[in-house]
Amino acid sequence: MAETYLKDKSSKIYIAGHNGMVGSAIMRKLTAEGFTNIITRSSKELNLINQVAVNDFFEEEKPEYVFFAAAKVGGIVANNTYRGEFLYDNLMIQSNVIESSRKFGVKKLMFLGSSCIYPKMAPQPLKEEYLLTGELEPTNEPYAIAKIAGIKMCDAYRAQYGCNYISVMPTNLYGYNDNYHPQNSHVLPALIRRFDEAKNNNAKEVVIWGTGTPKREFLFADDLADACYFLMQNYNEAGLVNIGCGEDISIKDLSLMIKEIVGYVGELNFDHSKPDGTPRKLMDVNTLTQLGWKYRTELQDGLKLTYENFKALILSK
């Protein structure tokens, strides 16, 4: 009989990165499912770059399961500016957590990557087998290389040590507890902040980087958490699984949708001198669909929830 996972509600589960958008969504999901033994540490309490500290934490706590959602993340500007940090920090964080998981007997680990691991000009939609078949998008290459190394490390540990470590590649995410930093945020939260500020300041226009033609796929973070929980129970293979909705939207149409939700009445101005990034990033989600999972939250509904959360975050500061 095949081993079952995450059936015991008292299982000891470590969520790495629980304060972030993805980690907090996984925490909400596990709590809603009735799990009572969830371990967390903030980055101030546990520096995942520090090998000794990570080793000591795993030796003390000995979690049975790990949802590995911790990473140094950011948008085009941050990725391109802090190239050394993005490569070093992410390599160290994931190496320490994966190795300590092996040393101290973690039953199953989920490594969360990013759709930026795929080649810049890969055919669309992006299939799992397109990994390492072409050149990466230059602006986020260091982050992508770190995440690819994480996938391969999980596979290597499975091959050598028999570790049941799985890798999932979420599409672009949005939702509660997103990062709205003016320089270091991703496109969707950056647009929400920009339109909200323009509305409050009665600005005549909002300037948006690039041409508006690139297309992006967006998944509500709570839907991702649902998929992660599903896969931790039902998927035990090497390689990776894409997590997305299988639909995309142009940056221009996304901007118009956010503009309407925020209630901004000015004009849009696309700055063609700024980079577009990858032309299109749509995930092929056939593997996930065939396993029996599908997203629930439509983009417009998710954006309304996210904007309400953004306003609450702003008022709390």
Q: How far apart are CA 162 and CA 102, in angstroms?
A: 9
Rg (CA), the chain: 19
Cβ pair 173, 22 in contact under 8 A: yes
162 labelled binding-site residue: no
18 labelled binding-site residue: yes
75 labelled binding-site residue: no
Q: Coil, strand or helix: which one is 13?
A: strand
Cβ pair 177, 19 in contact under 8 A: yes
153 labelled binding-site residue: no
209 labelled binding-site residue: yes
Q: How far apart are CA 306 and CA 12, in angstroms?
A: 30
Q: How far apart are CA 29 and CA 223, in angstroms?
A: 9
22 labelled binding-site residue: yes
34 labelled binding-site residue: no
21 labelled binding-site residue: yes
112 labelled binding-site residue: yes
114 labelled binding-site residue: yes
Identify the burial level of 20 via C-beta atoms within 10 angstroms of its C-beta, where 0-12 means exposed, 13-18 middle and 19 or more buried.
buried
147 labelled binding-site residue: yes
Non-local (6+) Cβ contacts of 230 within 8 A are 291, 292, 293
288 labelled binding-site residue: no
What string of DSSP letters covers 185-228? --HHHHHHHHHHHHHHTT-SEEEEES-S--EE-EEEHHHHHHHH
Cβ pair 229, 26 in contact under 8 A: yes
Helix (H) or strand (E) holding 303: helix 299-316
Active-site hit among 143, 176, 235, 264: 143
170 labelled binding-site residue: yes
119 labelled binding-site residue: no
Q: Please give the backbone phi and psi of residue 23, each rounded to the nearest 5 degrees, phi first.
A: -60, -40
Q: Which of 248, 252, 253, 235 is nearest to 290 (CA)?
A: 235
Q: Give yes or no: 143 in active site.
A: yes
Q: Which residue ranges make up the annotated binding site for NADP(+)? A: 17-23, 112-115, 147, 170-173, 186
Binding-site positions for substrate read 194, 209, 216, 276
- Residues tagged active-site: 143
Specify binding-site residues.
17-23, 112-115, 147, 170-173, 186, 194, 209, 216, 276
